[in-house]
């Protein structure tokens, strides 16, 4: 393109009104812009969730503090947990995946650009709907505003007897809508990675971030679906006379726990596997050598994905499961430490003998390795103690 043409194009861009620019961003289907929108959306809700965390911490500064009432504390606790999980960390991960994965595998865009945009706006709508509960949660009952049932929303706290008004409804529908958005994005990422790699980019040559994003997206599909089913059952309980979680009518409160934690524990790996991906790209770059044991790293990631679907009930050791169930979940909780430990050895093997440059990204990764190892070692002892108790 000639310099005159570039000058004309630049003048056209500068002369466009801000309304047109805003319209372009809102209607975009470009994976880079959508990745940026995901990250900006997550930063906005990170600010909101951080303010809620400050309220929680101020209230807990000393006993008998009256900074906020117990009802407001419960609302802040619920909104903070829901915000950080569904509207901060997951959009962050999807934002980086949207922006980077097509570039890494040589794709021009995501497999379904319009679905990509639709999924983002579903997630955004879910977040804004959740916070509209501050205004609309009272409903006709005049009770409460924001949801106060905890981000896990255990039954029977979510029944209409204990959660009057519409606050729990806003929570339920917001999480359900954002879950549909997450499923759409995960489907898009899987289709992009499996079918749109450039010539020569086989699965065996794909960057580790591509592999880990693929596993993360598979976990989203598998784990969000039970949570969405539980949300639908909760709506049926609250408004259509269902008794899925009503123990007085033959339902089961622990049914909600199982559905929730079938999502809740794989969610931990949905959030941490992208962090593994960042470390797997940063450490080789600043060690000036290829990743050590690429096939083993891929296998360990896939193993984490499989095993993570069989550990959920270690959140439920005190509900009265029999000894066989407790033993199974103790063993799976211990087993998932094995592929995670393999990753740590591979990262250390990558650093060993490398020409390490201790720049800011590398310093964060080194701190991450130490912190993750120290925290991960408690998994074995905690699983044994919890299972035996």
Per-residue pLDDT tens digits of the chain, which is 389 residues long: 455 555 555 555 555 688 888 889 999 999 999 999 999 999 999 999 999 999 999 999 999 998 999 989 999 999 999 999 999 999 999 999 999 999 999 999 999 999 999 999 999 999 999 999 888 766 555 555 889 899 999 988 998 888 888 889 999 999 999 999 999 999 999 999 999 999 999 999 999 999 999 999 999 999 999 999 999 999 999 989 889 999 888 899 999 999 999 999 999 999 999 999 999 999 999 999 999 999 999 999 999 999 999 999 988 888 888 888 888 998 998 898 899 999 999 999 999 999 999 999 999 999 999 988 888 877 777 776 665 55
Q: Which of 268, 368, 252, 370 is nearest to 311 (CA)?
A: 268
DSSP 351: H
Other beta carbons within 10 Å of 8: 12
Domains along the sequence of the chain with CATH:
28-147+156-206 (1.20.210.10)
Ramachandran angles phi, psi of 178, nearest 5°: -65, -30
* Residue 323 pLDDT: 86
Q: Which of 172, 197, 195, 204 is nearest to 86 (CA)?
A: 172
Q: Which of 193, 351, 188 is nearest to 280 (CA)?
A: 351
User: Are 264 and 315 in contact, with CB atoms under 8 Å apart?
Assistant: yes
* Residue 326 pLDDT: 86
Angle (deg, nearest 10), helices 31-59 and 113-136: 30
* Residue 315 pLDDT: 87
Return all residues near 136 (Cβ < 8 A) that are at least 6 apart.
Answer: 166, 170
Q: How far apart are CA 337 and CA 352, in angstroms?
A: 22
Q: How far apart are CA 24 and CA 174, in angstroms?
A: 26
* Residue 377 pLDDT: 79
Return all residues near 74 (Cβ < 8 A) that are at least 6 apart.
Answer: 148, 149, 150
* Residue 7 pLDDT: 54
């Amino acid at each position: 393109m000639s310099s005159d043409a570039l000058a004309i194009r630049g003048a056209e861009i500068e002369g466009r009104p801000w309304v047109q620019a805003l319209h372009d961003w809102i209607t975009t289907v470009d994976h880079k812009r959508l990745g940026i929108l995901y990250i900006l959306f997550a930063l906005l809700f990170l600010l909101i969730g951080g303010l809620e965390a400050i309220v929680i911490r101020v209230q807990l500064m000393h006993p008998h503090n009256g900074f906020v009432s117990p009802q407001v504390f419960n609302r802040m606790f619920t909104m903070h947990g829901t915000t950080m999980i569904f509207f901060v960390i997951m959009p962050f991960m999807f934002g980086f995946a949207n922006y980077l994965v097509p570039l890494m595998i040589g794709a021009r865009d995501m497999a379904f650009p319009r679905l990509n945009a639709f999924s983002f706006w579903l997630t955004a709508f879910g977040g804004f709907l959740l916070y509209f509960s501050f205004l609309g949660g009272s409903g006709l009952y005049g009770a409460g505003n924001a949801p106060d049932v905890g981000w896990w929303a255990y039954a029977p706290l979510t029944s209409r007897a204990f959660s009057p008004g519409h606050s729990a409804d806003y929570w339920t529908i917001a999480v359900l809508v954002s879950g549909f958005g997450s499923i759409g994005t995960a489907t898009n990422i899987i289709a992009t990675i499996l079918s749109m790699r450039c010539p020569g980019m086989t699965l065996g040559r794909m960057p580790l971030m591509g592999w880990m994003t693929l596993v993360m997206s598979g976990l989203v599909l598998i784990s969000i679906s039970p949570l969405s089913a539980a949300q639908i059952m909760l709506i049926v309980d609250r408004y259509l006379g269902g008794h899925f979680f009503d123990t007085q009518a033959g339902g089961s409160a622990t049914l909600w726990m199982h559905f929730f934690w079938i999502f809740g524990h794989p969610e931990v790996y949905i959030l941490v596997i992208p962090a593994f991906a960042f470390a797997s790209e940063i450490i080789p770059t600043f060690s000036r050598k290829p990743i050590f044991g690429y096939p083993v790293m891929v296998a360990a990631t896939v193993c984490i994905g499989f095993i993570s679907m069989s550990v959920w009930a270690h959140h439920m050791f005190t509900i009265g499961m029999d000894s066989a169930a407790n033993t199974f979940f103790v063993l799976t909780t211990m087993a998932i430490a094995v592929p995670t430990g393999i990753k740590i050895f591979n990262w250390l093997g990558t650093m060993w003998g490398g020409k390490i440059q201790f720049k800011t990204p590398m310093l964060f990764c080194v701190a991450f390795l130490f912190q993750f190892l120290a925290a991960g070692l408690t998994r074995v002892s905690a699983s044994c103690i919890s299972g035996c108790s």
